[in-house]
Amino acid sequence: MQLEFLGTGAGSPGKFRNVTSVALKLLDESNEVWLFDCGEATQHQILKTNIKPRKIDKIFITHLHGDHIFGLPGFLSSRSNQGGSEELTIFGPTGIKDFVMTSLRISESKLSYRIKFVEIAQEGVLFEDQNYIVNVAELDHRIKSYGFRVKEKDHSGELLVDKLKELAIPSGPIYGQIKQGKEVTLDDGRVINGQDFIGKPQPGRVVTVLGDTRQTPNIELLAKDADALVHESTFGKQEGSLARNYYHSTNIQAAKIAKQANARQLLLTHISARYTGKLSKQLESDAKEIFSNSKVVRDFDIIDIPLP
5: confidence class by pLDDT, cuts 50, 70, 90: very high
298: confidence class by pLDDT, cuts 50, 70, 90: very high
Question: How many whole angstroms separate alpha carbon 55 and alpha carbon 112?
Answer: 14
10-26 mean pLDDT? 95
pLDDT of residue 164: 84
pLDDT at residue 113 is higher than 90: yes
- At 271-287, the pLDDT tens digits run 999 898 899 999 999 99
pLDDT of residue 283: 96
Backbone angles phi, psi at 240, to 5 degrees: -60, -40
pLDDT of residue 44: 97
pLDDT of residue 127: 97
- Measure Cα distances from 212 to 30, 89, 166, 231 in Å: 29, 22, 56, 8
pTM over the 0.85 mark: yes
Question: How many whole angstroms separate alpha carbon 242 and alpha carbon 280?
Answer: 18
Which residues are catalytically annotated?
67
pLDDT of residue 21: 98
pLDDT of residue 172: 79
Q: How many CB atoms lie within 10 A of CB 3?
A: 21
pLDDT of residue 278: 92
63 is in an annotated binding site: yes
147 touches 140 (CB < 8 A)? no
231: confidence class by pLDDT, cuts 50, 70, 90: very high
User: Quick one: which of 143, 72, 85 has its CA closest to 111?
Assistant: 85
β-bridge mates for residue 99, sequence order: none
248 is in an annotated binding site: no
pLDDT of residue 255: 98
pLDDT at residue 131 is higher than 80: yes
- At 60-105, the pLDDT tens digits run 999 999 999 999 999 999 999 998 899 999 999 999 999 999 999 9
pLDDT of residue 187: 80
123-147 mean pLDDT? 97
HSE, side-chain direction, 13 A CA sphere, residue 234? 22
- At 141-178, the pLDDT tens digits run 999 999 999 999 998 778 888 888 888 887 878 888 88
- Measure Cα distances from 106 to 10, 42, 67, 113, 254 in Å: 28, 21, 21, 18, 40
pLDDT of residue 190: 85
239 touches 274 (CB < 8 A)? no
pLDDT of residue 166: 86
65 is in an annotated binding site: yes
Question: How many whole angstroms separate alpha carbon 58 and alpha carbon 90?
Answer: 6
3 touches 24 (CB < 8 A)? yes
Q: Between 7 and 172, whose confidence is greater?
A: 7
185: confidence class by pLDDT, cuts 50, 70, 90: confident
Q: Between 26 and 165, whose confidence is greater?
A: 26
Domains and their CATH numbers in the chain: 2-155+201-304 (3.60.15.10), 161-196 (no CATH)
Q: What is the DSSP letter of 224?
A: T
pLDDT of residue 194: 81
Query: What type of residue is 281?
Result: K
- The overall average pLDDT reported for the chain is 94
pLDDT at residue 224 is higher than 90: yes
141 is in an annotated binding site: yes
Q: 52 Cβ partners below 8 Å, 6+ apart?
A: 33
